[in-house]
Amino acid sequence: MSIEQLTALEIGRRIAAGEVSSREVTAHFLQRIEGGNARINAFVHVDPERSLQLAEDADRRLAAGELTSPLAGVPIAIKDILCEEGVPTSCGSRMLEGFAPPYTATAVQRLLDAGMVPLGKTNMDEFAMGGSTETSVYGVSRNPWDLERTPGGSSGGAAAVLAAGLAPLSIGSDTGGSVRQPAAFCGVCGLKPTYGRISRYGLVAFASSLDQVGPLAHTIEDIAACLQVLAGHDPRDSTSLAAEVPQYAAQLGRPLKGLKVGVIREHVEHAALDGAIRLAVERGQQQLAGLGAQIVEVHLPHTQYSVATYYLVAPSEASGNLSRYDGVHYGFRQVGSAGAGAASPLDAMISRSRSVGFGEEVKRRIMLGTFALSSGYYDAYYKKGQQVRRLIANDYQTAFEQVDVLLGPVTPTTAFKLGEKSSDPVQMYLCDLFTVGANLAGVPSLSIPAGLDEKGLPLAVQLQAPVLEEPRLLQVAHQMQRAGFFEQKLANDTL
């Protein structure tokens, strides 16, 4: 069995046992990237020399007994939204062209401290605003299962490199589904943890009350191991939770007898839901019942307002976060004459810099958010959106008083064709129907594979749990994995 077909934990075990070195494993994946990335455009920055040096450091630290993580020496891909000192970080935007951060994100530093080896930065929708990785300044990424289809977004590159066997693990960010939707489209696992479970320090902000770093992997065991490295309080992030970090692998083997699983009626009966995905959810119900769980129908009555609420709250926060990119303090600067009617040369420069530096989707969301926050409209839009957000969160709280976890779809459809929705923003936004609720409520949510449809495209289902109940979420998913609901599987190796 070749290295890319092994789980991350198995790779780590072989490295720790001396059967293979981290340098050898890293060189293998770098060779895979060199041969396969051009077809899918998933990596946007790779520094082989640096990765090999980090791998050699991991081998030295392992030999000295300095590393204890089971993922020590294992390569990992990092979304181009997480800062790493001296490494280009562009968020897929011309606005951050040539930017190399002077500091490292806490999540990335924890990976480095554990002895893991970053392979490079992965492609993404510009500033994480998109659901198809089509808004990146680096061009579109392609789904390894079908090169004419999207790998999802905004963490499309992070999911595509797993499906193509270019990396054994990756991390992305999830503001409204940006880890889970790409995971679903690419046939891998993707976790959005509880808001505040993983530090956002060094994560370039989109919507600060929604953004969360999350791991992607082929197996639940790998997700649990990666989360173990990433989770924990960080005083540099004021939203970071001080709660104790449990041993995420400890509960994986516990049986599900007596567990209550709620099936979200508003999701499984939604008119937009593809029939094959509905059947996948039903298959999940049947398997969970066979494992001893009790299946209960639950309601999230404010689901119908979730997309509208999200697209008020998130753009409003983006409007504030992205206002720093003015060509003066931060970001790309477009020089030139002031032009007729300009208020001042400075105003003209800022206007030009933002017009050229930001892409169309980012400008659309900034304008939407700025309008929602503007005088005379704040109460009608942003404030109302926050009030409905509270109702959505209350729905989750009520549901979790009845059940232990929720089961439903991740996406309305399987991976759609590139260009199919890019000219219709509303249709693209509606792809977030089933994912934005978890972000608005701050609860953990996990996408797991559910086989393939008749076109050979990955199917997926979503599990959600109460705040800080990642162990329960991973327990349920692991038992489903053990029972054969899904298995590690790469896309057809045409790369």
Query: Which pLDDT tens digit goes with each residue over 396-422?
Result: 999 999 999 999 999 999 999 999 998
Say how far apart CA 238 and CA 114 lie, in whole Å: 24
pTM, whole model, 2 decimals? Answer: 0.96
Q: What is the pLDDT at residue 438?
A: 98
Q: State how far the Cα of 44 lies from the Cα of 101, in Å rounded to an integer.
A: 16
3-state secondary structure 78-109: EECCECECCECCCCCCHHHCCCCCCCCCHHHH
| Residue 330 amino acid letter | Y
* Cα 90-92-98 angle, rounded to 5 deg: 30
Encode pLDDT of 179-190 as tens digits. Answer: 999 999 999 999
What is the tens place of the pLDDT at every residue in 228-286?
999 999 999 999 999 999 999 999 999 999 999 999 999 999 999 999 999 999 999 99
Enclosing domain of residue 495: 1-495
Burial environment of residue 343 by CB neighbours within 10 A (0 to 12, 13 to 18, 19 or more): exposed
**Is 154 designated active site?**
yes
In this model, does residue 495 exceed pLDDT 50? Answer: no
| pLDDT greater than 50 at residue 494 | no
Is position 238 annotated as part of the catalytic site? no
Cβ-Cβ contacts under 8 Å for 450 (sequence gap 6 or more):
277, 280, 283, 284, 458, 459, 460, 461, 485, 486
Out of 21, 154, 170, 173, which one is annotated catalytic?
154
Give 493's pLDDT tier (boundaries 50, 70, 90): low
Please indicate whether residue 355 is annotated as part of the active site: no
* Angle (CA) 243 209 110, round 5°: 50
Residue 32 is part of a domain; what is its CATH number? Answer: 3.90.1300.10
Of the residues 21, 51, 79, 306, only one is catalytic, namely 79
Total domain count, the chain? 1
Least confident of 163-167, 277-281, 372-376, 450-454: 372-376
Contact by Cβ (8 Å): 161, 152? no
Handedness of CA 473, 317, 368, 312 (dihedral sign): positive
Q: 337 pLDDT band (50/70/90 cuts)?
A: low
Q: With 90 as the cut, is the pLDDT of residue 78 above it?
A: yes
279 contact partners, CB below 8 Å, separation of at least 6: none
Considering the chain, what is the average pLDDT of its residues?
Answer: 96
Amino acid at 371: F
Residue tagged active-site, from 173, 178, 199, 319 = 178
Q: Which pLDDT score, from 0 to 100, does residue 351 have?
A: 87
Mean per-residue pLDDT, 379-407: 97
Please check the confidence at residue 310 and state whether its pLDDT lies above 90. Answer: yes
Q: Is the pLDDT of residue 338 over 60?
A: no
